[in-house]
Amino acid sequence: MKSVRLVFVIAALGTAIGLIFWIAGQPQGDRTRLLNGQNSGAGEVDPAALKLALVPERDIFEQRQRYQVLAEYLSSAIDQPIRLMTLNTYDRVLSEMAQGHIDAAFVGSMVAVLAHDRLRVQVLVNPRLPNDVTTYRGVVFVKADSPIQSVQQLRGLQIAGVPATTAGDLYPIYLMHEKGLLQVADAPKMRWVGTHDDVIYEVIEGNVDAGACKNLRLNAWEAEHGKDKIRRLATGDPVPNNALIVRGDLPAARVQALRSALIEMHETEPGRIALAKFGAKQFEPCGIEQYQPIYRMTQAIGPAWKQLGIDGAPPKPVDVTTPTTGDEP
């Protein structure tokens, strides 16, 4: 346990120090935008640039490096500057897109559904990972040595999660609703943290009794630290991995150029190099019809939607047929 805690502490300290030096190296204007959760890209903002947003779900620098490679490739492919922007929450993505401050964003499945429902965005593509995965699942888990053996035993306990996400918010609320745990006096309590990796940390450190996060992040953690430290209690249905959404009023020609550039990346050597650095095999078409598990869960929980901490009404179902997607192993 001490070694695991030391790894987390060193990683957090390294990230903090790196952030300080990185911000210090930015032009003054960019430092301000970064600290306000809006930056990226050095220098003055090109008004013709396509503004592409993302929300950290892991180490911010590792994630930004991956998307910077993608942004540089796309900028060349569509002959348009791309400004990569880091927003600190998914709520910010919705609000900034509603105000026209961003044109596109890579978002999780819950935000894609909300953005489609409220802003009429288009869902364009999502990545196929090197292991042929295009989806993820929500997982509720505990430490391997926890006395908790079932979801029902979470009564009166605390679960770490990530707000406005499928895996870390909607799925655990849905699961507790299905198990009858929301209707009892000692219902489990959600403890909100910033990222899926933070959820894992809170569980491993014993700060919470259980956690809810993306199985892909949990798999990655286990690959590094071993599979004998965590035990899964429940796993949800697959939903599309982080997809690219674009504003509904974006010119059709720009949308088509962006879609084509991404889908055709794997057909050229420069594209394959960029994909390898990004961590994907290729990009594939993705549409709102692939998000049916989310609509089913939001409908099933009814009034419990308010417990998700998301402002406004739940998304309205769309009447479509769900196509086959590449599920994770």
CATH code (residue 119): 3.40.190.10
Confidence band for 320, pLDDT divided at 50, 70 and 90 = low
Confidence band for 108, pLDDT divided at 50, 70 and 90 = very high
User: What is the arithmetic mean of pLDDT over 33-53?
Assistant: 58
Assess whether 259 and 129 both reside in one domain.
Answer: yes
- End of a domain among 189, 212, 236? 236
User: What is the arithmetic mean of pLDDT over 175-190?
Assistant: 95
Q: Are 86 and 37 in contact (CB under 8 A)?
A: yes
User: What is the arithmetic mean of pLDDT over 262-266?
Assistant: 98
Confidence band for 41, pLDDT divided at 50, 70 and 90 = very low
Higher pLDDT, 59 or 260: 260
**What are the pLDDT digits (tens) for 82-103?**
999 989 888 899 999 999 999 9
CA angle 323, 325, 329 (to 5 degrees): 150
pLDDT at 256: 96
Assess whether 149 and 207 both reside in one domain.
Answer: yes
Assess whether 152 and 203 both reside in one domain.
Answer: yes
Q: Which of 127, 157, 125, 124 is nearest to 143 (CA)?
A: 157
Is 126 domain-assigned? Answer: yes
Assess whether 245 and 117 both reside in one domain.
Answer: yes
Q: Which of 126, 84, 121 is nearest to 108 (CA)?
A: 126
Is 283 domain-assigned? Answer: yes
Confidence band for 9, pLDDT divided at 50, 70 and 90 = very low
Assess whether 209 and 289 both reside in one domain.
Answer: no
User: pLDDT at residue 270 above 80?
Assistant: yes
Q: What percent of the chain has pLDDT over 90?
A: 74
**Separation of alpha carbons 68 and 79, rounded Å:** 16
Is 112 domain-assigned? Answer: yes
Q: What are phi and psi of 245, to 5 degrees?
A: -115, 150
Is 314 domain-assigned? Answer: no
Assess whether 72 and 90 both reside in one domain.
Answer: yes
Assess whether 130 and 174 both reside in one domain.
Answer: no
Q: What are phi and psi of 211, to 5 degrees?
A: -140, 160
Is 129 domain-assigned? Answer: yes
pLDDT at 264: 98
Domain that includes residue 186, residue range: 138-236
Assess whether 121 and 246 both reside in one domain.
Answer: yes
Continuous segment of H or E residues that includes residue 160:
strand 158-161
Assess whether 209 and 86 both reside in one domain.
Answer: no
Could you tell me which residues come within 8 angstroms of residue 166 by beta carbon, excluding any fewer than 6 positions away? 108, 109, 110, 138, 236, 239, 294
User: What is the arithmetic mean of pLDDT over 162-189?
Assistant: 95
Higher pLDDT, 4 or 108: 108
Higher pLDDT, 62 or 50: 50
**Separation of alpha carbons 186 and 240, rounded Å:** 33
Number of domains the chain contains: 3
User: What is the arithmetic mean of pLDDT over 10-27?
Assistant: 45
**Separation of alpha carbons 46 and 42, rounded Å:** 11
Assess whether 9 and 72 both reside in one domain.
Answer: no
User: pLDDT at residue 306 above 70?
Assistant: yes
Is 310 domain-assigned? Answer: no
